């Protein structure tokens, strides 16, 4: 199940563990199957040489066992791995054809992928007739077999149309393939499974995006970028909120983390507790991944560009799209849509890391001479790398909506000169931003104030905020447990959490806010009936979202991982009904955060929107470099 959803690194580990376990008593047949699973996982993780080696060993075992069906499947993984590593040529084509025919005869589930691979190799060799024959065989599966094969069939159909120069048919196949990919995603319950089950959809979108760039068609680029991004957040996470065993395991994990932190602080051994934590996290992942999705809900819908432009009102939009390693910025101002080529994505990522490093350094309270000038220069370099010539389109009046790709979500956008004096919000898609504006506010204006442990300034912060909101539910001084916090957040009009945040890079759904009885994880948030309408997170890196590799794109050469959909504390809340979020993208200075938060809430109470309130408190920061860096580290997400 992990591999089917694209959780490749986890699947390699699970397969190796299984080989060690079954090798002690369950026989060679099971060992060979687990070796094949490990090979597939290594291939999905981009470890092509390792995948080929593992698959060849499994193939040889199956041959000795006389298991022809399994032998053919393992041999196909060997061929896939060699193709993904860049091998081409007549020998590879002959092997791909032979395997496609064998897998077809065996009615193996890999048959559509095998014909797709044979067609691609043939196309690369200029064997047009062979390419058409095998792609047509793969395309048959777009209407038959399991749902996960339908998108592969539509991808083959798109490649057929592309090969004969029929752009209209290729784009139609891409649209139909996205519908199929969405249907498969909605059968998966846990949110990271849905995010990973996107490999074919990612490649279908890539075909359309390349076509838009070649044509210089800004509207097409925006429409297709939105189609895929919007689908990522269309369906609320299908976590099982009433599962008592899940609730118990989350509580146990909190307790173990609390004991781990105490042991580390005392310098005591932690190996047993680390092992216990790993076991609990594995059990929680397995339980949430077994949750059923909703095949009937949240279907894919094409992007209505006219409605999107109308919905912007007086806002200006800049949406960034990565196509084959190059960043493009599409702007929408009024009804005018323009496309700008910015530069390499890798260069943008380097500038982002440099800017984040400078802000992190200032978060520790160390302000070297000329720190503000250095921030200004970093902001100018960041603007050139992220939006380039599109900055000119953002000049003038009116707030800005920034929609970056997943790998550029943790950006301090306020550093950019074009955005420094302009209210701006960040959203994972323009459609999500529009939906956030349509969220109905709760009838009661209930406010929740939560203070976690280990923040010296949080007591002062909550006391001052309590004076602004005298009827608020206040949880602090040991009362901020996970259960009490979830109850306070559920259906709140405004919620403020002053707590340290931790980002779990290996599995973003274990990213957490530190509370009195342990971490409040993204997994916990799926239990909310209604997320708070407005949420302020004055914590460390709470706005960072994890990205997941949604398969590999192999259309134009060797396979390369594609980062697409995102997960994290903020992203988990958007589809649950939260319209506005304030969060940081780097660790922030506690002492400077408290006065900034109080000033921010004062603006909110005066009627300002999140982006307007954040701009106002930045402008009032004065010349203190640490205070300025703290204000620049926060983003207004959503409306």
pLDDT in tens, 141-158: 988 877 767 888 999 999
How far is residue 408 from each of residues 54, 426, 543, measured CA to CA in Å?
35, 11, 12
Report how far residue 97's alpha carbon sits from residue 273's, in angstroms, rounded to the nearest whole number.
Answer: 51
Residue 607 in this model has a pLDDT that exceeds 60 = yes
Which of 42-56, 236-250, 299-313, 356-370 ranks highest by mean pLDDT? 42-56
The mean pLDDT of 168-183, rounded to a whole number, is 89
Whether residue 299 has pLDDT greater than 50: no
Rounded-to-integer distance, Cα 226 and Cα 549, Å: 19
pLDDT band at 624 (very low <50, low <70, confident <90, very high): confident
pLDDT score, position 188: 56
CA distance 199 to 180: 12
- pLDDT, the chain, mean: 82
Maximum CA extent, the chain: 77
Range 594-601 average pLDDT: 94
Is the separation of the CB atoms in 361 and 379 below 8 Å?
no
Q: How confident is the model at residue 508 (pLDDT cuts 50, 70, 90)?
A: low
Residue 485 pLDDT level (bands cut at 50, 70, 90)? very high
pLDDT beyond 70 at 5: no
Give the model's confidence band at 511: pLDDT under 50 very low, under 70 low, under 90 confident, else very high: confident
The predicted structure's pLDDT at residue 521: 79
Token duo for residue 356: 């984040």
Check the CA dihedral 32-33-34-35 and report its sign.
positive
More confident residue, 615 or 259: 615
Q: What is the pLDDT of residue 192?
A: 44
Note the Cα 85 to chain centre separation in Å. 26
In the predicted model, is pLDDT for residue 292 greater than 60?
A: no
Q: Check: pTM over 0.95? Answer yes or no.
A: no
Q: Is 564:228 a contact under the CB 8 Å cutoff?
A: yes
pLDDT band of 289, cuts 50, 70, 90: low
Q: Report the pLDDT value the prediction gives residue 38, as an integer from 0 to 100.
A: 82
- Polymer length in residues for the chain: 639
Residue 196 has pLDDT above 50, yes or no: no
Q: Per mean pLDDT, which range of 131-145, 358-372, 412-426 is the poorest?
A: 358-372
Q: Grade residue 193 by pLDDT with cuts at 50, 70 and 90.
A: very low
The CATH number corresponding to 437-638 among 3.40.50.1460, 3.40.190.10, 3.40.50.2300, 3.30.70.330 equals 3.40.50.1460
The residue ranking higher by pLDDT, 393 or 20, is 393
pLDDT, tens digit (0-9, with 9 covering 90-100), for 519-555: 887 778 777 888 899 999 887 555 555 554 444 444 3
pLDDT-derived band at 186 (thresholds 50, 70, 90) equals low
Average pLDDT for 5-32:
55
pLDDT for residue 542: 53
Q: Spell out the CATH class of 8-232.
A: mainly alpha
pLDDT for 458 = 76
- For residue 114, what pLDDT band results from cuts at 50, 70 and 90? very high
The answer to whether residue 42 scores a pLDDT higher than 70 is: yes
Residue, of 322 and 25, whose pLDDT is higher: 322
Q: What pLDDT was estimated at residue 149?
A: 75
Q: Return the pLDDT at 560.
A: 38
Highest mean pLDDT among 84-88, 414-418, 450-454, 616-620: 414-418
Given a cut of 90, whether residue 339 has pLDDT beyond it is yes
Among 9, 634, 6, 630, smallest CA distance to 359 is for: 630
Mean pLDDT comparison of 250-254, 493-497, 577-581, 623-627, highest-scoring range: 493-497
- Predicted pLDDT of residue 549: 45
Q: Is the pLDDT of residue 381 over 70?
A: yes
pLDDT digits (tens, 9 = 90+) for 302-314: 568 899 999 999 9
- β-strands 326-333, 336-344: how paired? antiparallel
Mean pLDDT of 105-126: 91
Confidence of residue 472 (pLDDT cuts 50, 70, 90): very high
Task: Give the least confident one: 6-20, 283-297, 403-417, 618-632.
Answer: 6-20
Could you tell me if 611 and 399 are in contact, meaning their C-beta atoms sit under 8 angstroms apart?
Answer: yes
* Phi and psi at residue 552, to the nearest 5°: -130, 145
Least confident of 290-294, 300-304, 364-368, 485-489: 290-294
Angle ∠(591,594,598) on CA atoms, nearest 5:
155
Strands 494-498 and 473-475, sheet pairing: unpaired
Is the pLDDT at 249 greater than 90, yes or no? Answer: no
pLDDT, residue 19, reads 54
């Amino acid at each position: 199940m992990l591999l089917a959803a694209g959780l490749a690194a986890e699947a390699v580990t699970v397969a190796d563990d299984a080989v060690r376990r079954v090798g002690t008593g369950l026989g060679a047949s099971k060992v060979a199957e687990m070796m094949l699973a490990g090979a597939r996982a290594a291939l999905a993780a981009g470890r092509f040489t390792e995948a080929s080696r593992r698959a060849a060993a499994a193939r040889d075992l199956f041959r000795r066992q006389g298991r022809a069906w399994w032998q053919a499947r393992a041999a196909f993984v060997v061929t896939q791995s060699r193709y993904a590593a860049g091998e081409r040529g007549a020998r590879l084509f002959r092997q791909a054809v032979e395997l496609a025919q064998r897998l077809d005869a065996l009615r193996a589930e890999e048959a559509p992928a095998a014909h797709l691979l044979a067609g691609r190799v043939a196309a690369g060799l200029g064997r047009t007739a062979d390419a058409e024959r095998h792609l047509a065989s793969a395309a048959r599966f777009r209407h038959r077999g399991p749902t996960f094969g339908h998108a592969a069939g539509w991808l083959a159909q798109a490649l057929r149309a592309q090969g004969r120069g029929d752009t209209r048919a290729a784009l139609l196949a891409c649209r139909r393939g996205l519908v199929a990919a969405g249907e498969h995603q909605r059968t998966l319950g846990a949110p990271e499974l849905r995010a990973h089950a996107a490999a074919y959809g990612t490649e279908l979108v890539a075909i359309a995006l390349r076509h838009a760039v070649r044509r210089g068609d800004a509207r097409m680029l925006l429409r297709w970028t939105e189609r895929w991004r919007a689908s990522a957040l269309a369906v609320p996470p299908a976590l099982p909120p009433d599962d008592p065993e899940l609730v118990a395991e989350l509580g146990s994990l909190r307790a173990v983390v609390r004991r781990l932190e105490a042991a580390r602080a005392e310098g005591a051994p932690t190996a047993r507790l680390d092992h216990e934590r790993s076991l609990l996290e594995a059990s929680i992942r397995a339980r949430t991944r077994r949750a059923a999705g909703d095949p009937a809900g949240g279907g894919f819908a094409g992007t209505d560009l006219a409605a999107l432009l109308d919905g912007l009102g007086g806002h200006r939009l800049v949406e960034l799209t990565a196509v084959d390693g190059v960043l493009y910025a599409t702007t929408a101002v009024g009804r005018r849509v323009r496309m700008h080529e910015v530069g390499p994505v890798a260069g943008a990522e380097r500038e982002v890391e440099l800017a984040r490093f400078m802000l992190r350094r200032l978060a520790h309270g160390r302000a070297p001479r000329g720190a503000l000038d250095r921030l200004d220069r970093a902001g100018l370099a960041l603007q050139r790398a992220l939006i380039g010539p599109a900055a000119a389109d953002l000049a003038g009046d009116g707030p800005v909506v920034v929609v970056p790709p997943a790998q550029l979500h943790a950006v301090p956008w306020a550093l950019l000169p074009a955005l420094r004096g302009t209210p701006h919000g960040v959203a994972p898609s323009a459609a999500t931003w529009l939906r956030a504006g349509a969220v109905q506010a709760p009838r009661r204006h209930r406010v929740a104030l939560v203070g976690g442990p280990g923040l010296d300034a949080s007591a002062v912060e909550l006391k001052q905020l309590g004076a602004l909101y005298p009827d608020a539910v206040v949880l602090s001084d040991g009362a901020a447990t996970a259960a009490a916090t979830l109850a306070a957040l559920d259906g709140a009009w405004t919620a403020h959490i002053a707590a340290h945040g931790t980002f779990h890079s290996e599995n973003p759904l274990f990213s957490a806010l530190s509370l009195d009885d342990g971490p409040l994880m993204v997994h916990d948030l799926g239990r909310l009936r209604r997320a708070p309408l407005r949420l302020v997170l004055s914590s460390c890196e709470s706005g960072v979202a994890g990205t997941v590799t949604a398969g590999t794109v192999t259309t134009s050469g060797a396979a390369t991982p594609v980062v697409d959909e995102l997960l994290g504390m903020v992203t988990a809340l958007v589809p649950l009904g939260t319209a506005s979020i304030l969060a940081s993208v780097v660790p922030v200075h506690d002492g400077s955060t408290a006065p900034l938060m109080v000033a921010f809430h004062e603006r909110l109470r005066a009627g300002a929107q999140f982006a307007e309130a954040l701009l106002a408190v930045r402008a009032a920061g004065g010349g203190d470099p640490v205070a300025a860096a703290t204000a620049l580290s926060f983003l207004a997400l959503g409306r």
